[in-house]
A and B are shown apart, each in its own frame.
Chain A
Amino acid sequence: MSDQKKDDEIYPIAVLVEELKNEDVQLRLNSLRQISTIAQAVGQERTRSELIPFLNDATDDEDEVLLVLADELGNLVEFVGGGEYAHTILPPLTTLASVEETVVREKTVEAIKKISKEMGEDQIQEFLYPVLKQLATGKWFTSRSSACGLFSICYQNVDEETKTELRQLFSDLCKDPTPMVRRSAAKGLAVLVPYVGRENLRKELIPLFVKLAEDDQDRVRLLAVDNCVALSKILTEDEFITYVIPTLKSCAKDRSWRVRYMVAERFCQLSEPIEPEVTKNDLVEVFIGLLKDNEEEVRTCATLRIAELCGQIRVYQDVIKDAILPVIEELSKDFSDNVKIALAASVTELAPIIGKEMTVEKLVPLYLDLLKEDISDVKLNIISKLDTVTQVITIEVLASTLLPVVVELFEDRQWRVRNAVIEYIPKLAIQLGVQFFDEKLTDLTMSWLKDSVFKIRQTAARNLVKLTKVFGSDWCMEHLLPHIFKLLEEPNYKIKQTGMYSLTVLAPELGNEIVTEKILPKIKNLKSDKVANVKLYLAKTLKSLLPYLEENTIQQEVKPCLNELAKDEDPDVKHFATSALNKIS
Chain B
Amino acid sequence: MDLDWCLEKLTKNPPEVLPEQVVKGITEQLKEALIYESNVAMVESPVSVVGDLHGQYYDLVELFRVGGECPETNYLFLGNYVDRGFYSVETISLLVCLKLHYPRRITLLRGNHESKGVTQVYGFYSECLRKYGNANVWKYFTDMFNYLQLAALIDEKIFCVHGGLSPSISSINQIRVLDRFQEIPPEGALTDLVWSDPDAVEQETKPSPRGAGHIFGSQLVDKFLQDNKINHIIRSNQLCMDGHQVLFSGKLITIWSAPNFCYRCGNVASILEVFKANNSLTLKYNTYTAAPENERIIPSLETTKEIPDYFK
Contacts and interface: CB of A to CB of B under 8 A. Distances in A.
Interface of A: 414-416, 452-455, 491-494, 497, 531-533, 536-537, 570-572
Given A416-B292, A491-B275, A571 B104 contact: yes
24 contacts: A414-B289, A415-B66, A415-B288, A452-B66, A452-B284, A452-B286, A453-B288, A454-B73, A455-B66, A492-B275, A492-B277, A494-B72, A494-B73, A497-B68, A531-B46, A532-B104, A533-B72, A533-B74, A536-B72, A570-B104, A571-B103, A571-B104, A572-B102, A572-B104
Nearest to A414: B289
Pairs of residues from A and B, 4 with the lowest C-beta to C-beta distance, nearest first? A491-B277, A454-B68, A455-B65, A453-B66
A454 B67 contact: yes
A536 to B, nearest CB: 7
A570 B103 CA distance: 10
A39 B303 CA distance: 33
A24 to B, nearest CB: 11
A290 B286 CA distance: 44
Given A492-B46, A533-B74, A454 B104 contact: no
Contacts of B65: 453-455
B76 to A, nearest CB: 14
B276 interface: yes
Contacts of B73: 454, 494, 533
A497 B286 CA distance: 18
A384 to B, nearest CB: 13
A320 to B, nearest CB: 31
Interface residues of B, number: 24
Given A492-B277, A497-B68, 8 more contacts: A452-B66, A453-B286, A454-B65, A493-B46, A533-B71, A533-B73, A536-B71, A536-B72
Interface in B71-98: 71-74
A455 B68 CA distance: 8
A450 to B, nearest CB: 12
A455 B64 CA distance: 9
A419 to B, nearest CB: 10
Contacts of A531: 46
A494 B271 CA distance: 15
Nearest to A530: B276
Contact of B105 (A415, A454, A572): A572
A493 B275 CA distance: 8
A344 B66 CA distance: 27
Contacts of A570: 104
Contacts of A414: 289
Contacts of A572: 71, 102, 104-105
B286 A537 contact: no
Contacts of A532: 104
A interface: dominant SS = helix
A537 B71 CA distance: 9
Nearest to B65: A455
Interface string B46-64: 1000000000000000001
A570 to B, nearest CB: 6
A531 B155 CA distance: 13
Contacts, number: 52
Nearest to A493: B46
B69 interface: yes
A533 B105 contact: yes
Nearest to A380: B292
B66 A491 contact: no
A449 to B, nearest CB: 14
B276 A491 contact: yes
A416 B65 CA distance: 11
A531 B103 CA distance: 16
B278 interface: yes
Contacts of B66: 415, 452-455
Nearest to A576: B71
A494 B288 contact: no
A414 B278 CA distance: 30
A537 B72 contact: yes
Nearest to A452: B286
Nearest to B74: A533
A537 B74 CA distance: 13
A497 B278 CA distance: 19
A571 B103 CA distance: 9
Contacts of A415: 66, 288
A410 B102 CA distance: 35
Nearest to B64: A454
Interface string B93-127: 00000000011110000000000000000000000
A415 B65 CA distance: 10
A494 B104 contact: no
Nearest to B105: A572
Contacts of A452: 66, 284, 286
A494 B286 contact: no
Most chain A CB neighbours (cut-off 10 Å) among B69, B72, B277? B72
A416 B278 CA distance: 32
B69 A454 contact: yes
Contacts of A453: 65-66, 286, 288
A343 to B, nearest CB: 18
A570 B278 CA distance: 24
A359 B66 CA distance: 37
A14 B289 CA distance: 61
Interface in B270-312: 275-278, 284, 286, 288-289, 292
A542 to B, nearest CB: 15
A375 to B, nearest CB: 12
B42 to A, nearest CB: 15
Contacts of A537: 72
Contacts of B275: 491-493
A537 B284 CA distance: 22
A453 B62 CA distance: 10
A387 B29 CA distance: 53
A455 B288 CA distance: 12
A531 B276 CA distance: 10
Contacts of A571: 103-104
A452 B65 CA distance: 11
Contacts of B71: 533, 536, 572
A454 B105 CA distance: 17
A491 B72 CA distance: 15
A571 B71 CA distance: 11
Interface-centre pick from B46, B69, B284, B289 (highest chain A CB count, 10 A): B46
A492 B48 CA distance: 12
A416 B288 CA distance: 11
B200 to A, nearest CB: 28
A416 B291 CA distance: 10
A494 B69 CA distance: 10
Nearest to A490: B277
A491 B278 contact: yes
Nearest to A454: B68
A414 B102 CA distance: 31
A483 to B, nearest CB: 19
B98 to A, nearest CB: 12
A536 B74 CA distance: 12
A532 B46 CA distance: 10
Nearest to A492: B275
A198 B110 CA distance: 76
B46 A497 contact: no
A571 B105 CA distance: 10
Nearest to B268: A413
A536 B71 CA distance: 9
A429 B135 CA distance: 58
A526 to B, nearest CB: 14
Contacts of A494: 68, 72-73
A497 B105 CA distance: 15
Most buried by B among A414, A416, A493, A571: A493
A453 B278 CA distance: 22
Contacts of B284: 452
Contacts of B74: 533
Contacts of B276: 491
